[in-house]
Amino acid sequence: MWKGLINHYKEYLPVSENTPALTLHEGNTPLIHLNTLSKELEIDLYVKYEGLNPTGSFKDRGMVMAVAKAVEAGSKFVICASTGNTSAAAAAYAARAGIQAIIVIPKGKVAAGKLAQAYMYGAKIIEIDGNFDEALQIVRDISENTSVTLVNSVNPYRLEGQKTAAFEICDGLGSAPDILAIPVGNAGNISAYWKGFKEYNAKKQTGLPKMFGFEAEGAAAIVRGEVIAHPETVATAIRIGNPASWKLAEAARDESGGKVAAVTDEEILNAYRLIASKEGVFAEPGSAASIAGVLQSVENGSIPKGSRVVAVLTGNGLKDPDTAVKASTVDMISLANDEAEIRTYIEGLL
Ligand code: F0G
């Protein structure tokens, strides 16, 4: 039985006999080959489907570590700013560990599924008229002046947990892919994957991928080289204008010979519909930025034909039902409660 990250990867993680054996059985997510898109793009394309973690996003990998270490240090409260997924994970692992999560979120900009999770897991929820970057500044300040532990990705244990996804990809493929495509918001995850690939390579000679990060165009601070005061994108998960791990993300890009590029909301929504309708894989819009980036990079030649590519799908599509309904091009057919009428309609399709 899979017993979660702390159990499985303890030799790679900063854990001791005093670290609680916290788990919701996170990690060990599927690496799915995208058959149709691979053929169309003439590459070998896989997705790391992080939406199958216990709270539906990759944040569980980092949060199990951050909360376990907070409990080990005697903390009774954890706090984070969030666009939604971090807060869902913090709330779940805090509940599991018997401590309290406090979350600060941008009002009106958190997808419905993520908000529902925060309520159900029993977080103290504070919404502000401000964006993620402003919320992060507030919780950073508060955690410095109180006994509350900060569990955003500036907490180093978060990246430690998240790096394990790179291990799983190397184990799944037998080595690192040529290119790792990943959405970039606060830039913690791209930094964690790069750390993971380097550590696994040092231990097991699994090789190193080129790191391709993708920001939403309306929030592309790293691409533009400047803080964006008012970031905007349909992909609310990555609606971030001043990424905390900016420097680490640039290091991942430069050391790996990769790139950080921007994808438009239109490209994101196109990729979002494409992987659901052509591959049966439903990921939230922020996640689809990685696929949008792959499509763009094949088109402009920065991903050569024949490359083995892994795109990280960071969150489950069910997180954001409102965007799914709005972005869908499928019309509901309303018919009478009548078998003959329904049969006539279906025969028209055949
Ligand atoms: N994809 C999803 C679904 C996310 O929720 C996030 C970040 C990212 C990608 C970007 O990852 O920040 O490490 O570059 N969500 C954070 C949150 C900010 O609060 O849930 P990153």
Q: What pLDDT, in 10s, does the model give residues 71-114?
A: 999 999 999 999 999 999 999 999 999 999 999 999 999 999 99
For ligand 1, say whether the CB of 189 is within 6 Å of any of its atoms.
yes
- pLDDT value of residue 19: 97
Same domain, 124 and 79: yes
Asked whether 310 and 29 are in contact (CB, 8 A), the reply is no
Asked whether 97 and 166 are in contact (CB, 8 A), the reply is no
Alpha carbon of 17 to ligand 1 centroid (Å): 31
Residue 279 structural domain: 5-57+156-327
- pLDDT value of residue 276: 98
CATH of the domain at 23: 3.40.50.1100
- pLDDT value of residue 193: 99
Same domain, 15 and 68: no
Whether 338 maps to a domain, the answer reads no
For ligand 1, say whether the CB of 113 is within 6 Å of any of its atoms.
no
d(CA 208, CA 194): 9
Asked whether 39 and 276 are in contact (CB, 8 A), the reply is no
Whether 348 maps to a domain, the answer reads no
187 is in an annotated binding site: yes
Whether 339 maps to a domain, the answer reads no
Q: ipTM for the complex?
A: 0.99
The arrangement of strands across the sheet holding 259-263 comes to: 31-33, 44-49, 308-313, 179-183, 210-216, 259-263
Same domain, 167 and 259: yes
Q: Give the pLDDT mean for 235-248.
A: 98
Mark which of 93, 120, 150 sits at the end of a domain.
150
Same domain, 220 and 132: no
113 is in an annotated binding site: no
For ligand 1, say whether the CB of 238 is within 6 Å of any of its atoms.
yes
225 is in an annotated binding site: no
Whether 13 maps to a domain, the answer reads yes
Q: What pLDDT, in 10s, does the model give residues 113-158?
A: 999 999 999 999 999 999 999 999 999 999 999 999 999 999 999 9
Cβ contacts of residue 117 below 8 Å, gap of 6+? 55, 56, 87, 88, 91, 92
Percent of the chain with pLDDT over 70: 100
The arrangement of strands across the sheet holding 100-106 comes to: 124-128, 100-106, 77-81, 149-150
Q: Name the domain count of the chain.
A: 2
pLDDT class of 190 with cuts at 50, 70, 90:
very high
Whether 344 maps to a domain, the answer reads no
Mean pLDDT of the chain: 98
Alpha carbon of 328 to ligand 1 centroid (Å): 23
146 is in an annotated binding site: no
Same domain, 25 and 133: no
pLDDT class of 283 with cuts at 50, 70, 90:
very high
